[in-house]
A = this chain, B = another copy of it.
Amino acid sequence: MAFSYVSHLYCPKCENTYNVEELNQLCECGSPLLVAYKMNKLKENFKASDLLQRPTDLWRYHELLPVQAKDNVVTLGEGFTPIVGMSKTGKNMDIPNLYMKDEGMIPSGSFKSRGAAVGVSKAKELSVKELAMPTNGNAGAAWSLYSSQADIAATIVMPVDAPEITRKECIAAGASLYLVNGLIGDAGKIVGQAVKDYELFDASTLKEPYRIEGKKTMGLEIAEQFNWEVPDVILYPTGGGVGLIGIYKALQELQELGWVSKDKMPRLVAVQAEGCAPIVKAWEEGKSYAEPWEDAETIAFGINVAKALGDFLILDAIRKTEGCAISVSDDTLLKELKTVASEDGAFVCPEGAAAFAAARKLRENGWIKHDDNVLVLNTGAGIKYPETVGEEAPVLEIGERILRNSAFHYKT
């Protein structure tokens, strides 16, 4: 029994194929590459029931992951994050079957650890010694930490405005970190130059084919956790969009294996911020590619991506699943963040809050039906974003007494 049933790499645009035993980045045509598996052999040898006795991390799906030797797995116990009912928020939104997959409960507190675990493991398998990447913070933190375990030297470039804690994670992990007075696109250009100058492996979003396989495990888990049914709607905060592409890929693979029905695909929703909504614009205009967004700005920093390399894959996934793309304002998402915390006790990241706010908006306009099973992806822990909560608390001196009439409740 093979540890992995990986077959080859293929280009979703020009259909060129590539060898998985060699180090690859983009296709010759400039498109990201995707990973193909030996699906017929998998169908014979891999059954859903095999999973029952396995560890509860993303490596339980190793047959559907690209790492070929178990020894190359770099892991911190990531994956199989809980799906929890959000009953009070759901009631408040008139979506009684509202669920959250909480990607805050993962190493480094963000779903980026999935891509890093699989991406770094595969890089190790392919003997990468040095990699570089631009990041809005969380991916750089995750790749730094996993790279340290894999003895890979990581060079990370992030905007000065990226969440401060992500700098600390890179530094603690021993990465070479640089900040740039600009956006992630500017960081990308600096990385591009360094990759050329020093022959580094380019681990930028979708410029290596394996990160998406890590993100794909969210889709595998959603199906397993819903007992091989799928929810009606999945809302995903979309920057580079790798998670959405990955979830779509996972569900297609599970359909091919026959583990989920071919009759129902969840409607995938790409959620963006009003200050950076290139995918929403392209979707509304019926385009296959997105134009770069000018002057991108949002407090939901993880989705502040002006131009996504995988835009055509995101738009395709939304259309094929009869999903949609929608944006919310920063004010709206910050308000929703408070609602979710004070109603259901979940302190989510601003990107996750954007997805909750989008669910509310889509229920209001009728796109989400009352009875839909709706899953929101909270892509990270709220504790990485102290700036989303502005209020301060009163300070007492030793021996002072709490005066009840002065006690203020923040809850509205």
Contact = CB atoms under 8 A, between A and B. Distances in A.
Interface in A368-412: 381-384, 386, 388-389, 391-402, 404, 407-411
A385 to B, nearest CB: 9
> Which of A193, A345, A389 is most buried by chain B, counting CB atoms within 10 A of its CB?
A345
Contacts of A81: 77
A336 B76 CA distance: 18
A88 B149 contact: yes
Contacts of A388: 168, 172
A107 B104 CA distance: 8
B169 A401 contact: no
A181 B396 contact: yes
Interface stretch (A182-190, A240-248, A251-259, A320-328): A182-190
A362 interface: no
B171 A410 contact: yes
Interface stretch (A35-43, A90-98, A157-165, A210-218): A157-165
A272 interface: no
Contacts of A402: 155, 157, 178, 190, 193-194, 197
Copies of this chain, tallied across the complex:
2
Interface residues of A, number: 90
A19 interface: no
A398 B341 contact: no
A343 interface: yes
> Which of A147, A178, A179, A182 is most buried by chain B, counting CB atoms within 10 A of its CB?
A178
Contacts of A170: 393
B165 A383 contact: yes
Contacts of A148: 341-345, 411
Contacts of A408: 176
A224 to B, nearest CB: 11
Contacts of A282: none
Given A76-B82, A77-B82, A173-B345, 6 more contacts: A104-B107, A149-B344, A171-B410, A172-B341, A189-B399, A198-B404
Closest 6 pairs between A and B when the two form their complex, measured CB to CB? A77-B82, A174-B411, A174-B342, A145-B345, A172-B341, A149-B345
